[in-house]
Structure 1
Amino acid sequence: MKLKPIVAVFSLSLLAACTIHNSERASRPQSTAVHPSLVAMEEVTADQPQQPVPDPAKRRYEMKLMAQPVAGINASIRPPSEPLDRENYAHFKDNPLKRAAEFPVSTFSIDVDSASYANLRRILNEGRLPPMDAVRVEEMINYFNYEDVAAEQRDTPFGITTEIAANPWNPETKLLRIGIKAWQPRQSEMPPANLVFLVDVSGSMHSPDKLPLLKRSLRLLSRSLDADDRVSLVVYAGASGVVLEPTPGNQRATIEQALQQLSAGGSTNGGAGIRLAYAKAREAFIEGGINRAILATDGDFNVGTVNHQALIDLIKQQRQAGIALTTLGFGGGNYNDHLMEQLADQGDGNYAYIDSLMEARKVLVRELGATLQTVAKDVKIQIEFNPEHVTVYRLVGYENRLLAREDFNNDKVDAGEIGAGHSISALYEISLSGSTGQRIEPLRYAQGQVKSAGKSDELAFLKLRFKHPGETESELIETPILASQIVQDLSSSSDDFRFAAAVAAFGQSLHGGKYLKDMGYDEMIELARGARGNDPDGERAEFVRLLGLARDLSPMKPQANFEQTATVP
């Protein structure tokens, strides 16, 4: 089926809409502070009118998407139903290039959240390109599992893998991948869990992709529990209440009946619900077990506390008492991504977005241990580059996880948690001495010669600091990264390396593509398709499909905005 005229009409319409949206957005001030929705947000009712989609445009849209190859999971495509302009995302800029002779040390907190990828998949499947600030590259990369070497015992909770190979979006630079694989206990070794489902039943949760999907998702999770586990159910809307007192996990009929009776309606008082959920978690607290509140909402709520700091202080206090907070996001149109991420970060939990029952199965069944059981907390990474070999570097992603150099050794500084079996990757783009890759002009008054670092084969030195759950003092893991590890030919690198590079390129392109040079979607598709490797659940194949969808939704090929010379702030 030839769709070029249709694609042209659709692309012009989309370009015009994006231009209007971006101009409106540019006029609004951006802030990375705690969003005022923690104090008050506009109420949303279930009968709020949706933006109409003209029938001819809708038919052209559906014809175009039906022509796409279907691969992997979540193949259902939905036409857009609500505008994105009420969705809230924290603004951030790409990490800049840094000169190793001036800034040899890079420090950041790990991030195991995966919400950004599932959310942008939802937006793409609705026929839109996501807002730039909805794209967090590290969450896209860490959505996928990688076959790195895992720790064999809990005393050392994770293994570390490092790879260096050619960079697919700039052949004059190299790409360094740091892979962390957490210890994975057997199912029988998981401690008992005390879970409190905190469910938003306000009017904004009425649509099928919100409360109905939420109920089916929590039903899947409940079927993975046994008699040693405890489940409570708290709801909040105009008022909060307990629907299910702490109940043994093997009483599935009772748990499912409580979930089934939930319905949406009214305004939202999320803060009162959180306080009640924590009270139930304390009531059923399991010493030495998993104690966690799971907040399921679209994030569009008034918290009902004196101010936003009161809510943050409450979450921190309960975190220190051993009760973590996980956030599960649902729906769109009024979605508050910024708030959902903040709450999970403060609660030593993780943040996932549920756009389908298949995603619920991934997060709440297949990766249940990673979602619920923390094996290491306050995990920080610090890498020191050897300026004798590395001239310029750039961390890809993790923009809102950066730490000061001195924070690495400060055990009072909070950082990210790793769940059982989690895979985490971090990518650095590096320019080697003598290459013609990314360059930053040296300082006028800097010394002309770089002193030898003393280890001639070391490109960098990696440090990883973490705490065991319940401990207050951190432990340190160190390993050198050697020049002898460099794989000159990208095709000779591992499937995991090439796939992570393709995901990173896609994420960067959706966030403006400043450093991509002229790499386009066709090159990304070819790279990802050849690196699918072992893909039992079809997630990598689905990623290839999403690349093709984004290519067809884009008004033009991603353009290079690459600068050979940059200024380091």
Structure 2
Amino acid sequence: MASRAYAPVAEERFRMPSPVYQDVGRDKFTATAENPFKVVREDPVSTFSIDVDTASYSFVRASLNRNVLPQPAAVRTEEMVNYFPYSYVSARSADQPFSTNVAVFPSPWTAGRKLVRIGIRGYEIQRATRPRANLVFLIDTSGSMNAPNKLPLVKQSLAMLLDQLDANDRVSIVTYAGSAGTALEPTRASEKDRILAVIDRLGAGGSTAGAEGIRQAYALAEANLDPRGVNRVILATDGDFNVGITNQDELKGYIERERGKGVFLSVLGFGMGNYNDALMQALAQNGNGAAAYIDTVSEARKTLVDEATSTLFPIAKDVKIQVEFNPATVAEYRLIGYETRMLAREDFDNDKVDAGDVGSGQTVTAIYEVVPVGGPRSIGDLRYSQPAPVADRVASRGSEYGFVKIRYKLPKSDTSRLISTPIDRTSEALRFEDAPRDARFATGVAAFAELLRGGKNNGSMTYDDVLRIVTATRGEDDFGYRTEFVQLVRAAKSAGALARLER
């Protein structure tokens, strides 16, 4: 379906005459310590929830485009890595919606250590067979949204998304400022002019009754619930809730209950200076949806046009990964990123524990750094805890580094399924240069993110080293995402030098 060009004139015509809202330095992020190395003999199992959010990457880009290094808490390594699509083998069917791709290769920042890249790709739903969508656009029209990179960009973004819907999909609009209200009752997506006219008339002003807006949006979605379709609230906001329920745990609990009724929540973040990332991450993670940050029209096109099916249509929910490392071959390991997605070992087999979702055709990547037995350890042995005799180890599986298990539920099921694969020598490259190109590029992105967070575990890695890796692994790059990333690394190097001069 052809995209509709959204006229910027309409944005100016309906903009409130009040001064543009400006706020600086009130962006809210949750600081999380990096995952540490763990000793395999003591703690061989690593469990986490899938994460396909990309908000961190876009926020980092917006900061660097202003020649400012992002605050470390704004950088989530897994979201940086998963911003990019990777060429993993497609899944065969909707019933087994994942393919698993494992690669092992030398770490480029610490000699003697290895990286384990785990990649999965979701089954891609064809447009002709995808389910109907019942969408409620929940739009923040409070005073804090009165800035060029907020409400006007929201309007452009939703207009782009509208063009990706089928005629029988339904759209509703709820707005909130000092109070909340329904701006558009459920309307077939074929009535584009009517829907665009409502979006056109939106203006910003007032306080932020976000919680009441969420209540009304869910009520509207439930009143029109399609039991065979996708039912989703799409929240567009800078996350500044100041009227109604402002307690984050209370909001999370409410959204968890609504999730159980079959309505998911996705979050689109806008603006800087007053951006509440901490709240938006909590809402998206508990609402079985993804969080994206829209800083440009190009990002809106990527999220809501190029990747519309993966944004809107899940192929699996409550997706968890568990890796068991083999003490015969691996001494230590650390998971790079996913700090906010860690799960207890027993959560993996518990179908009542919520986890992340994967959309149609989406790729997800996780990277572990491992220390082989005999390699450069980061944690010394304890006096009273000595290695088990070789005879006590799993000698029959001595060639394996570990074992990957993925547990997931189909979108309309409450019972999980399991797929698994070994991490063995057949997946190993002896030189970093011989590793799959996508694996090397993802490694460069992860190294960059870790440098922005402080570089605690990056050894002697520098921005120049990152540039060498990602410049050599851009590949075809049809959409230019990887080329843009190279420029961001250069921008970070310049911003870092400027920051040192100012000190």
With normalisation by structure 1, the TM-score equals 0.82
Taking a change above 3 Å as real, the CA distance of residues 90 and 365 of structure 1, as seen in their structure-2 partners, is same
CA contact (8 A) 1:198 1:234 kept: yes
Instruction: Indicate which of 483, 486, 489 corresponds to 1:541.
Output: 483
CA contact (8 A) 1:196 1:281 kept: yes
How far apart are residue 489 of structure 1 and its match? 1.1
Residue 383 of structure 1 pairs with residue 323 of structure 2: yes
Aligned to 1:119: 59
Letter in 2 for 1:489: R
CA contact (8 A) 1:457 1:484 kept: no
- Distance in 2 (alpha carbons) for counterparts of 1:499 and 1:557: 27
CA contact (8 A) 1:220 1:364 kept: yes
Letter in 1 for 2:441: F
- Distance in 2 (alpha carbons) for counterparts of 1:201 and 1:89: 22
How far apart are residue 447 of structure 1 and its match? 3.5
Taking only the aligned residue pairs, the percentage that are identical comes to 47
What secondary structure sits across from 1:428 in the alignment? strand
Residue 313 of structure 1 pairs with residue 256 of structure 2: no
Instruction: Indicate which of 96, 101, 106 corresponds to 1:166.
Output: 106
Aligned to 1:553: 495
- Distance in 1 (alpha carbons) for counterparts of 2:203 and 2:328: 63
What secondary structure sits across from 2:346 in the alignment? helix
- Distance in 1 (alpha carbons) for counterparts of 2:283 and 2:310: 18
Could you report, residue by residue, the CA deviation over 1:216-236 in whole angstroms, capped at 9, with x for unpaired residues? 000000111122100001100
CA contact (8 A) 1:520 1:557 kept: no
Letter in 1 for 2:96: T
What secondary structure sits across from 2:148 in the alignment? coil
Letter in 2 for 1:441: G
Aligned to 1:452: 393
Instruction: Indicate which of 429, 446, 456 corresponds to 1:514.
Output: 456
Letter in 2 for 1:496: D
Aligned to 1:136: 76
What secondary structure sits across from 1:276 in the alignment? helix
CA contact (8 A) 2:207 2:243 kept: no
What secondary structure sits across from 1:554 in the alignment? helix
Residue 443 of structure 1 pairs with residue 385 of structure 2: no
Instruction: Indicate which of 13, 30, 34 corresponds to 1:90.
Output: 30
Instruction: Indicate which of 490, 493, 500 corresponds to 2:435.
Output: 493
Taking a change above 3 Å as real, the CA distance of residues 279 and 535 of structure 1, as seen in their structure-2 partners, is same
Taking a change above 3 Å as real, the CA distance of residues 257 and 96 of structure 1, as seen in their structure-2 partners, is same
Instruction: Indicate which of 143, 167, 171 corresponds to 1:203.
Output: 143
- Distance in 2 (alpha carbons) for counterparts of 1:303 and 1:125: 33
What secondary structure sits across from 1:487 in the alignment? coil
Letter in 1 for 2:479: D
How far apart are residue 303 of structure 1 and its match? 4.7
- Distance in 2 (alpha carbons) for counterparts of 1:184 and 1:91: 35
- Distance in 1 (alpha carbons) for counterparts of 2:63 and 2:378: 36
Of residues 536-545 and 514-523 in structure 1, the stretch that sits farther from structure 2 once superposed is 514-523
- Distance in 2 (alpha carbons) for counterparts of 1:455 and 1:321: 44
CA contact (8 A) 2:264 2:287 kept: yes
Of residues 339-348 and 163-172 in structure 1, the stretch that sits farther from structure 2 once superposed is 163-172
Aligned to 1:267: 207
CA contact (8 A) 1:104 1:385 kept: yes
How far apart are residue 47 of structure 1 and its match? 4.0
Could you report, residue by residue, the CA deviation over 1:304-332 in whole angstroms, capped at 9, with x for unpaired residues? 13854443232112111110000000000
Could you report, residue by residue, the CA deviation over 1:391-449 in whole angstroms, capped at 9, with x for unpaired residues? 111100001111111111111111111111111000000111222x2331112212333
Aligned to 1:479: 421
How far apart are residue 157 of structure 1 and its match? 0.8
Instruction: Indicate which of 93, 97, 101 corresponds to 1:157.
Output: 97
- Distance in 1 (alpha carbons) for counterparts of 2:410 and 2:329: 35
CA contact (8 A) 2:21 2:147 kept: no
CA contact (8 A) 1:46 1:204 kept: no
Alignment of 1:209-224 (within 5 A): 209-224=149-164
Instruction: Indicate which of 386, 401, 406 corresponds to 1:464.
Output: 406
Alignment of 1:284-295 (within 5 A): 284-295=224-235
Letter in 2 for 1:452: R
Instruction: Indicate which of 177, 199, 203 corresponds to 1:237.
Output: 177
- Distance in 1 (alpha carbons) for counterparts of 2:363 and 2:499: 31
CA contact (8 A) 2:408 2:418 kept: yes
How far apart are residue 531 of structure 1 and its match? 0.4
With normalisation by structure 2, the TM-score equals 0.93
Letter in 2 for 1:447: Q
How far apart are residue 470 of structure 1 and its match? 2.1
CA contact (8 A) 1:180 1:425 kept: yes
Instruction: Indicate which of 334, 355, 372 corresponds to 1:394.
Output: 334
Residue 346 of structure 1 pairs with residue 286 of structure 2: yes
How far apart are residue 507 of structure 1 and its match? 0.3
Aligned to 1:27: none
CA contact (8 A) 2:21 2:146 kept: no
Question: Which structure 2 segments of 5+ residues have no match?
Answer: 1-16
Question: Which structure 1 segments of 5+ residues have no match?
Answer: 1-44, 51-81, 559-569
- Distance in 2 (alpha carbons) for counterparts of 1:342 and 1:514: 26
How far apart are residue 485 of structure 1 and its match? 2.4
CA contact (8 A) 1:137 1:397 kept: yes
- Distance in 2 (alpha carbons) for counterparts of 1:521 and 1:431: 24
Taking a change above 3 Å as real, the CA distance of residues 484 and 225 of structure 1, as seen in their structure-2 partners, is closer
Letter in 1 for 2:99: G
**Size of the alignment, in residue pairs?**
481
How far apart are residue 48 of structure 1 and its match? 7.4
How far apart are residue 381 of structure 1 and its match? 0.6
Aligned to 2:349: 409
- Distance in 2 (alpha carbons) for counterparts of 1:310 and 1:95: 28
CA contact (8 A) 2:21 2:144 kept: no
What secondary structure sits across from 1:94 in the alignment? coil
- Distance in 2 (alpha carbons) for counterparts of 1:329 and 1:93: 24
